[in-house]
Every structure is written in C-alpha cells, then in structure tokens.
Chains A and B, each alone.
Chain A
Amino acid sequence: MKKGIALVVLTILFAWQMVSSYAIQRFPKPEFESGYITPETLLPTPRAEILEVMDVAVLLLALSVVTWAVLKRRSRNLVFWISIFSLAYFGFYREGCVCSIGSIQNVTLAIFAGSYVIPWTVLVFFLSPLVYTLLFGRTFCAGVCPFGAFQDLVSWRPQKIGTRLNAVLGVIPYIYLGLAVLYAATATDFIICRYDPFIGIFRFDALFSMFIFGGILLLCGVFIARPYCRFLCPYGVLLNWISRFSKYHMTITPSICVECRLCEDSCPYESIEKPVTVKNPESRKMVVRKFILIMLLIPFFMLLGGWTGSQIHESLAKVNGKVRMADELLHPEKIQAEPESIEMTAFKASGKSVKELYNEASRILRQFYIGGWILGGFIGLTIGGLLAGRLITRYRTDFEPNRGTCYSCSRCVDYCPIKS
C-alpha cells in the first residue's frame, strides 16, 4: 500500500517536473534580493508606414511634374532639376529601394508564387510609370528614375555608337528581363536587385564587385549616355514597348519641323529618327518577299530559342538553392568541401528528409524546363522582331523622336528653333 502511494506521488512529481521543465528554462530566472529589475528587451520599430505612403505620393507627384515639364513647359532645365531631386530622394535618401525596376520581380512573384503578399506600395511603383508612359511617353526615365538621373548627370561627352551596335546591345535588356522574370516566378532569386550597379553607391556600402560594376557603368556613362538604361534596364523594355503606343508623346518641335537639323546631334541616346523620304522605292514584290521572310524568321528564332532554353534549363536552375542542394546530395563525389558545407549542415539539422528535398527540387526543375522554353522563345521573338524591324523601312517627313527609345529628356526641345 505504502509502496503504491509512493509510486503515485513519485509519478505526479515526475510529471510535474516534466511539465515545469518544459514551461521554464534550463536555468530558472533568479529571484533577485538586491531589488534588481529585469531590463526591457528593446525592440526598435521599422520605418513608419506613413513614410512609405509618402514615397508613393512623391513618386506620383514627381511623375506628374516631370510630365508637365516635358509636355507643357517644354523645359530641359526643369526636367534636369526634377531629376536631381529624384536622385536625391529615391536615390540617396531612399537608397534606391523600392524601385520600379525591381518591382517587376515582386509582381511576378505575386502572380506565380503562392504565399507571397505584395505590398500595395510596390504595386503602385510598378504600375504608375507604366500608365504614365502609355499616356505621355517615358517621362519616368526623364526625371523620376534615380538611375537615369545619375547617369544623365555624368554624361558629359556622349558619343554616338551607331545604330548597329545600339541594336545588338539593345537585345541585352530583353534577356535580362526574361531571366529576371524566370527567377522571380520560380521564387529563386531577385537578380535585378542582386546585380543592381548603383544601389551600392546610393548606400555608400556594397560588395566590392558591385562598386566596380557601378563605377565602370558611370565611367562608361561619361562617353556613352545612360549605358544602364539603354543596354541593361529590364523595366526599360516594358516602357519602350508601351511608349511606342503612347497617346501624347513629346515632340521635338511644338508645331512644324523646318528640317533645320539643329536637333540632329542633340540626342545623346541616338533616339532621333531622321526624315526618310523615298530613296529606294520598294516594289510590291520586294515588300511581299520581306513580309514572308519575317513571318518565317520569327517562328524559327522562337523555336530555336525555346529549344536552347529547354536544353540549358538545368544550368539555369542551379541558381536555386534547393536544386543545388539536391544535386549535391545526388552526386556526393562532386563535393570537395571538407568539412561539409554550411548548407549541408543546416539541411541535416532541419530534419527534412532527402526524399522531400528531391521532390521539391524536381518540381522546381520542371518549372525551369517550362520557363526555359518560354524564356528562349521570348528571346527568339526579340531577336526575330528586331531583325524584322531592320527590314522594314518607315517613311517620315520630320525629325521625330523614336518613341520607343526616347527618354523624353527634352534636350532636343532646347535645340529646336521653333518655340511656339
């Protein structure tokens, strides 16, 4: 009997100890006799939400003012000063984050990845420049984007590099955009942010390699105006295509072009189209032949690109940490790291089974396979389209800005002798 009671008491005691040791810590909090009061753990708050709202307000205001300066005031000076403000605010004060260029990835991730919630401010940063561009052309590039403003500031001796090189380098943004969307859609990486050349300069703090990259771009920018905007910017691709159909795009002359050719060399971006009055009239036969060639060329390039993309999808997927991990586990002979990598240690500590990881990795690989086809097809379409564009001769009578590549910086407006 006694034994029984003792057992029950012991059991209760033991159970109590189990519960209490679970509830409190290994070393219980001491009871101080000296009147010591436990200090509070300070938890500093993030940037106030109202300031985020202010960013959006400043963005919309800057867009509106610069659009007014370009289209109504037609003043290069004003555009310049707004761009300086934007550089100071969005660049050095906000340290380049969040920006419209990077927001492409947030929007992509929001559309494709299940759990990601996109803040509404980011959505506004993505959409408002696009809407403004559809109405008024790329005024965003003229004076709101801090990257553009930064490069504009240093373009002291812009040289022409020729239409051909321009066209070849102009393919890079399309590839960059395609890759950025692919990596964002598979929730792998935000490569636009990762390889952002100027953000380190805005923050006075970055990896050495990114400082070098930014420095080289700025140095190039002295002689080749806006190298990032023209040959890298993925957001520029969207703006380019929307701007081509903009409703009220800036014009060089406010009324008529007298073909004085003063504006011809004013554009540092080689975006002024010269008048093409008939030099070599094309026969109908030639036109039809060209059309057929284009129609065959584009699908061919798309298929070729898509096939190539699908072939290299495994290499593309290596950027993804989970795929890399699964690959490492599948091919242990490849690993030379001794001791084992931090990733491997963390994976073993996580308690996740290898099978789970393989399943996840194969799901991601499948996404990359489809993504590889789409990416390749997109690049093929781009190259085909650009080639087709070169086959088409457009006639125009005046000096006009190329609506796609014109940043509405209004330099040419200053050169135009016609003021009303």
Chain B
Amino acid sequence: MRSLQPNLTVNMNNKNRRLDNMNGKGEEKRINRRKFFRTGAQTGLLIGLGGIATLAARKAGSNEYVWQLDPTKCTQCGRCATSCIKTPSAVKCVHVYAMCGYCDLCGGYFLPDTKTLNTGAENQLCPTKAIKRTFIEDPFFEYTIDEEVCIGCGKCVKGCGAFGNGSLQLQVRQDRCDNCNECSIARNCPSDAYSRIPVDQPYLLKGFGQKNLDIK
C-alpha cells in the first residue's frame, strides 16, 4: 500500500540509488518482487501455524486439567509443604472419615512415643496443631483437619498410614490451587505422584475408586 505513495519520494531516491535499471520500472520490479516474497512468507507462516495447530490439536482435549497427587504413590517426603508456590501450600491433609477407625491411639495424631493420650502439644505429631481431636463416645475420637492451619507436610499421613487405616491423605485442594502451568511440587516430587487429571474428577482418594467419591 505504502509503496504507492507519491511518486515524488520514489523519484527522489532513484536519483541516488544504484539499481539494476535507473528508472521507475526497476523500482516497481523490486517492489513487486518484495511483495511476492512477502505474500509467500505469509502463506508459509500460515501453513506452518496451521501445521503446529493440527499437530497439537490432535492431542487437544475439550476438558480442562488440574494437578492432583496420587496417595498410592505418595511417600510423604514433606516437599508438598515447601515446594508449592503458595505459602502455605495448596496441598492439605484430607480426612476420609469413611475410612477412619476413630482410634483413641491415633497414629496420625500422636507422636510415636507418647505416654499419655491427651491433647497436650508435646504429644502431637502435627507441627502446626492442625488436627482437632474430639471425644465422641468411649473409646472413639473424631479427628478433623483445620485446613487454614494445615501446611501439607504429610507427617500425620505417614503416621496414619503406618499405624492406622490410612484415612488421612494428602490432596491438592482445588479451591486453593492456582493450577500453575507447571506445578512446582510436581517438579520436585521424588515419587512421581503428581499428574494432571480431568477437572470433572479432581480428587484421587486412596481406598475409594474415583467413581464412588460420594463418601458420606
């Protein structure tokens, strides 16, 4: 378009320029060649983009994906607490009540060498005291996680898995997770427990298949 600007500038330059032909025709030819080259490049780029798009689109899903950790692979190394870009981490301990034995001596609540089973701070495994122990009836106690306080270190998960039913499990809390393009916990996870899973089934709980997640 701009090449069709007033002839004045074109002529002015031709005076100085050393072109193949020192007249307007040469300039025109050059412009045509450039135009041809430009159109060619545009078409090439368009085809290239289309190619990349088709290659990627073959693997494109209509679904959105979220990060989740698989408790069966988790080794409770404690990195969920430290590697998340959020402080505190978006990974929390989740209590699957349906699996809980409501034990008095809870492996997830008490330190292994606890003498007296009471809520004293010196007895608790949780470094932030995020687990609440409430008496229900003899000899059963309910344990609830205060997610505001939980840092996702997995100490209780380890204890519960070793001595109890494994009802305490680490999970990425989807309301807290920013769903980064690359999860920095996933990158640091030594057990390869993290994966992207479809957004309509955002939790992977151990002991219960994905399908019967309506554990009441």
Q: Which residues of A contact B (CB under 8 A)?
A: 25-30, 32-34, 36, 38-41, 43-47, 49, 52, 95, 97-99, 102-103, 105-107, 110-111, 116-123, 126-127, 130-131, 134, 189-190, 193-194, 200, 203, 205-207, 241-242, 244-245, 247, 251, 256, 277-278, 281-282, 321, 341-343, 345-347, 349-350, 395, 397-398
**Which B residues, 163 to 192, have Cβ-Cβ distances below 8 Å to chain A?**
164-167, 173-182, 184, 187, 190-192
Minimum C-beta distance from B156 to chain A (A)? 15
Q: Which residues of B contact A (CB under 8 A)?
A: 2, 5-6, 9-10, 12-13, 16-18, 38, 41-42, 45-46, 49, 52-53, 55-57, 59-66, 73, 75, 77-79, 85-87, 94-103, 136-137, 140, 142, 144, 164-167, 173-182, 184, 187, 190-192, 196, 199, 202-203, 205, 207, 213, 215-216
Q: Is the CB of B64 within 8 A of A134?
A: no
- Classify the interface of chain A: helix, strand, loop or mixed: loop
Q: A32-B137, A117-B60 are in contact. Are A194 and B184 (CB under 8 A)?
A: yes
CA distance A398 to B3 in the complex (A): 11
Q: Is the CB of A110 within 8 A of B213?
A: no
CB<8 Å pairs between A and B, sample of 12: A25-B207, A41-B95, A41-B215, A43-B174, A46-B174, A97-B178, A107-B52, A189-B182, A193-B182, A206-B85, A245-B42, A346-B190
Q: A29-B100, A49-B64, A346-B191 are in contact. Are A34 and B136 (CB under 8 A)?
A: yes
Q: A29-B101, A342-B190, A345-B75 are in contact. Are A278 and B16 (CB under 8 A)?
A: yes
CA distance A27 to B103 in the complex (A): 8
Q: Is the CB of A123 within 8 A of B53?
A: yes
Q: Is the CB of A46 within 8 A of B100?
A: no
Q: Is the CB of B202 within 8 A of A43?
A: yes
Q: Is the CB of B98 within 8 A of A131?
A: no
Query: Which of B75, B136, B181 touches A349 (beta carbons < 8 Å)?
Result: B75
Q: Which residue of A lies closest to B13 (CB)?
A: A397
CA distance A97 to B13 in the complex (A): 50
